Chain A
């Protein structure tokens, strides 16, 4: 596997279900991200992990719970979701250097989530 992988690619869940999204990066990066992409809205940053430590939580509801057990893996645990949470969830990674603004983020293919 190369780059950033995400599983599952598609997920349909009911509002009472609990599920998890998985992201794995094979690039040796030290930062990982979760984004939400809803129809007709800009990409929204949800969480940032630097060196496995969460450094950003962009006012995300507690029904989304991230986990970063090591620098290569990132999970997004979902519970009691709402239909408006249906979206494409994208994971990304980057190699962060001090004071450098040109560290592009590499994205996975996303998980298309539908909440019924």
Chain B
């Protein structure tokens, strides 16, 4: 079974609107961390936001927020006020407490922002 599932291979959003990118995960660990990365066409993976499994509040970083629903095992990324520069691949990743420092990535979602 896949540990990280991103069901949206591609999405369009109008500039200045908000968009939600879906991520569901599968783990039996109580302690784990969830990450979102952005990969522009240049190839570099850029860290966006982190959510710990014990964090009470949803993580926020500027225009990025993470909608963490632990019971549903989902960690959706919300981007507010989309900009043209947000067009990129977005990857959800998980680090499980018993897996050392290994990250498992989902298949990614390509976001395209329309002017």
Question: In the complex, what distance in Å separates the CA atom of A56 from the CA atom of B4?
Answer: 20
Q: Which residues of B lie under 8 Å from residue A112 when comparing CB positions? A: 43
Question: In the complex, what distance in Å separates the CA atom of A94 from the CA atom of B50?
Answer: 14
Contact in complex: B101, A48 (CB < 8 Å): yes
Q: Which residues of B lie under 8 Å from residue A110 when comparing CB positions? A: 43-44
Q: Which residues of A lie under 8 Å from residue B101 when comparing CB positions? A: 31, 48, 50, 94, 96, 103
Question: In the complex, what distance in Å separates the CA atom of A99 from the CA atom of B105?
Answer: 21
Interface residues on A, range: 20 to 34
B90 proximal to A (CB < 8 A)? no
Q: Which residues of B lie under 8 Å from residue A45 when comparing CB positions? A: 102-104
Contact in complex: B105, A109 (CB < 8 Å): no
**Total inter-chain residue pairs, C-beta < 8 Å:** 59
Contact in complex: A92, B45 (CB < 8 Å): yes
Task: Choose from B91, B100, B105, B106 the contact partner of A56 (Cβ within 8 Å).
Answer: B100
Task: State which residues 67-115 of B face A: CB under 8 Å.
Answer: 91, 93, 95, 97, 100-108
Contact in complex: B42, A109 (CB < 8 Å): yes
Nearest chain-B residue to A40 (Cβ)? B107
Nearest chain-B residue to A97 (Cβ)? B101
Nearest chain-A residue to B50 (Cβ)? A102
Task: Choose from A88, A105, A108 the contact partner of B103 (Cβ within 8 Å).
Answer: A105
User: Hey, which bits of chain A sit against chain B, CB under 8 A?
Assistant: 31, 41-43, 45, 48, 50, 55-56, 88, 90, 92, 94, 96, 101-110, 112
